[in-house]
Chains A and B, each alone.
Chain A
């Protein structure tokens, strides 16, 4: 299966790559063939900085249950953070 299903978003983040920490500007989320994860398909996340080149990338390949658990945990964590701290971390 080759789904082609891909979503691109812009974001503000830092990611640790082989070349050290890099400011990240975009992400792609898709469900397709993983490079390393031992399954036919996986939920794939690429966090990137296109201006810094192809290797400015942090990649994750997750099984669907793990991806959902991670997403829910991120939302739960954010829900528990006081508004003042959220405001401090964002623009």
Chain B
């Protein structure tokens, strides 16, 4: 593997046929490959998450990140777009699922596709990755510290996220969950509730909770970055993808 890749901004058909912006990373040193939909965190479709897309491509996976805030803020800076989306109540679940479905369809249409597609999401995207896996034919799902999978977000907040634990019986592929022991949203107790639900539903899953890490330990440009957890987390991610969609 040479880690050669091509990355570019494209337009895909998202929920309801809406044309939305997306960032695509393609390995250029493979004949066929698996794919992954990258779901950005609440701070948005930002440079750090585009770097994650390129990392997947460099490691042999076609990766595509839809801009979930494109409708509210086309062409805006990621932080302005995130603020606008937050103020208007966040991304509705139905729209998220439609956008991920559009990203999946685009990835499967690529000449290099082996037809297998995973999803990964960070922070709010962790919950959204799991949600997408419950409602779409994803071959594998990765949830990185997604909150509000087993409890609802605060009722008084206009930013709504409802628990999705009741839907895990619909998952079609295995689940990888990566969490920080010091995180409270989601807390280790909440992650155990999710694990119990996956066990009860007979699902293939693997959860890792890293000591000394809290939320967002993958974020290399934030104080929450924990190199040991992130390095081990990336090893888990690529091992999981090799098993499920490579």
Contacts and interface: CB of A to CB of B under 8 A. Distances in A.
Does A pair with B?
A: yes
B80 A6 contact: no
B159 interface: yes
A82 interface: no
A55 B224 CA distance: 27
B76 interface: yes
Contacts of B159: 4-6, 30
Which interface residue of A4, A35, A50 has the most chain B CB atoms within 10 A? A4
A66 B154 CA distance: 25
B39 interface: no
A4 B161 contact: yes
Given A8-B87, A28-B86, A33-B216, A2 B80 contact: no
A70 B80 CA distance: 23
A5 B157 contact: yes
B240 interface: no
A48 B147 contact: no
Nearest to A18: B77
Q: What bracket does the count of chain A residues touching chain B fall in?
A: 20 to 34
Interface residues of B, number: 37
Contacts of B157: 4-7
A46 B145 CA distance: 25
A7 B158 CA distance: 7
B116 to A, nearest CB: 29
A75 to B, nearest CB: 23
B214 interface: yes
Contacts of A55: 76-77, 80
Nearest to A26: B87
B154 A59 contact: no
Contacts of B82: 35
Contact of A40 (B76, B79, B224): B224
A48 B83 contact: yes
Given A2-B147, A35-B43, A54 B223 contact: no
24 contacts: A1-B147, A1-B184, A2-B185, A4-B147, A4-B148, A4-B153, A4-B160, A4-B185, A5-B157, A6-B87, A6-B158, A8-B158, A28-B83, A33-B43, A33-B123, A33-B222, A35-B43, A38-B223, A40-B216, A46-B83, A53-B76, A54-B73, A54-B83, A57-B80
For the complex of A and B, 6 pairs with smallest distance between CB atoms: A54-B76, A54-B73, A54-B80, A4-B153, A1-B185, A54-B84
Interface of A: 1-8, 26, 28, 30, 32-33, 35, 38-40, 46, 48, 50, 53-55, 57, 59
